[in-house]
Structure 1
């Protein structure tokens, strides 16, 4: 049985190709939303966050022989646990990693922790667009200039509630489904008079390029949360190459 750790658009694209090769697949996603991305596929999808011990049990229960990790580039704990589970149980492990965009706007700063981003932006006076996802919202709760921050999140009630529970006013919540094209990013930044954009290095699938291009045209400074780097075994950035590797192992 092949275990696909999914929940991203990449995982849907991958599974569309993989099921032509085999249907001996089970998929896990950390959220119900991730599961909805995989609807209409004739395979088992489990929507649940798994700890390391739960991963071990899951691999035994489902007779897993191969783990294919298509989790988000920033889901470090998920990937690290999956790698260790594969080692512990003698399973094959494959990773799909989105290609990084290798260019930067003329005005940008790079940080590798949200804590350092918070220290930097609390000194800023102008408006800030935060596009780090709802899971990172609590880090901003005590920010002195929180009223200047606008949070773009998915339009889900629990994510909106998380914002409100962390001192963010409704007027500072932008609940919209992305990715967004360059023109929409420009319109949004102009409407809110944004001078700083906080974003992940999420790659093409995450709409990173369109955000950067919009910021560059408007002279908005981009503040990156740098992508964490893990030494993945059997890592691929092309879905067809990854599937070929799985078939040959």
Structure 2
């Protein structure tokens, strides 16, 4: 059995691929909605965050033969915990992460290395700032931008109850919340920017499957300043960017027999 961390749509596809190739797995996800999506594909899964120690105990208890980390590119803590857990449990660790996209240089695009730097830059732009970075780091932006009278902060995020509660706690007005689940087309993004008269859009370098290209192209065509938060730098072991690479790593690690037999 493989202990699998799933955090993106292509991660779910990878889980299905591995299982179809004869590698049984159990997936760890963040939300119950993700559990339901995986159950539709007959993938055993559960929701909940674990630190390195709890991951190690789980891997040991389930006699997992490997840890495959396909968490979100910005789920830095989850990846570090997974690497530590694999090390403590004495099993191989494999990282799957979709490739980053390269965009043409533009005076409208600024790359930053942190959420704090993104908030600082957005404060300089002023006008209507649209966040497409999720709810986890929302407080970084509300603390900096909400008190500013010449900035309207719009947050686009998944339509989950906990997200709405977080927005309320942080003082973000309902009229400034776009609760919707993608992926979105460029036409949709353009219409959204125009509706809210966006002057600055903040996003993460999540990759094509994160619809970053659509958001960026839409903003570029409208002349909207875009702030891109770069991925955290982590020294991953056995890093892969395709499903075939993951399968090759599993074969190279010579754990096929243990995995296929369900150990």
Q: Structure 1 length as normaliser, TM-score?
A: 0.94
Residue aligned with 1:227, SS: coil
Range moving further from structure 2, 226-235 or 15-24: 15-24
Say what the alpha-carbon RMSD is for the aligned residues: 1.6
1:184 Cα deviation from its structure 2 partner: 0.3
Where do residues 121-136 of structure 1 align in structure 2 (5 Å cutoff)? 121-136=122-137
Give the CA deviation at 1:124. Answer: 3.3
Give the equivalent residue in structure 2 for 1:31. Answer: 31
Write the mapping of 1:25-174 to structure 2, written as runs, cut at 5 A. Answer: 25-104=25-104, 106=106, 107-142=108-143, 143=145, 144-145=147-148, 148-174=152-178
Shift of 1:24: 2.6
Preserved contact between residue 11 and residue 70 of structure 2 (Cα < 8 Å): yes
In 2, Cα distance between equivalents of 1:204 and 1:103: 11
Corresponding residue for residue 209 of structure 2: 205
> Corresponding residue for 2:12?
12
Q: How many residues align?
A: 249
What is the alpha-carbon distance in structure 1 between the residues aligned to residue 82 and residue 23 of structure 2?
21
Answer whether contact 1:104 1:212 (CA < 8 A) is retained: no
Q: Cα offset for 1:89?
A: 2.1
Give the drift of 1:23: 5.0
Contact 1:28 1:46 in 2 (8 A): yes
**Aligned equivalents of 2:31 and 2:105: distance in 1?**
33
Contact 1:8/1:34 (CA < 8 Å) preserved in 2? no
2-structure distance, mates of 1:32, 1:20: 23
Residue 125 of structure 2: SS of its match in structure 1?
A: coil
- Is this contact kept in 2: 1:127–1:195, CA < 8 A? yes
Distance in 1, matches of 2:111 and 2:65, equals 39
Q: Note the alpha carbon deviations across 1:71-115, whole angstroms, 9 max, x for none.
A: 000011111111122222221111111100011451111111112
User: Are the counterparts in 2 of residues 30 and 50 from structure 1 also a CA contact under 8 Å?
Assistant: no
**Partner Cα separation in structure 1 for residue 220 and residue 134 of structure 2:** 22
TM-score w.r.t. length of structure 2: 0.90
Question: Are 1:180 and 2:184 counterparts?
Answer: yes
Mapping for residues 212-227 of structure 1, pairs under 5 Å: 212-227=216-231
The residue matched to 1:38 in structure 2 has which SS? Answer: helix
Contact 2:15 2:43 in 1 (8 A): no
**Equivalent pair of 1:130/1:199 in contact (CA under 8 Å):** yes
Q: Gapped runs of 5+ residues in structure 2? A: 254-263
Structure 1: distance between partners of 2:26 and 2:153? 40
Q: Does 1:193 align with 2:194?
A: no
> In structure 2, what is the Cα distance between the partners aligned to 1:164 and 1:176?
17
Aligned to 1:228, the other structure's residue is in SS state: coil
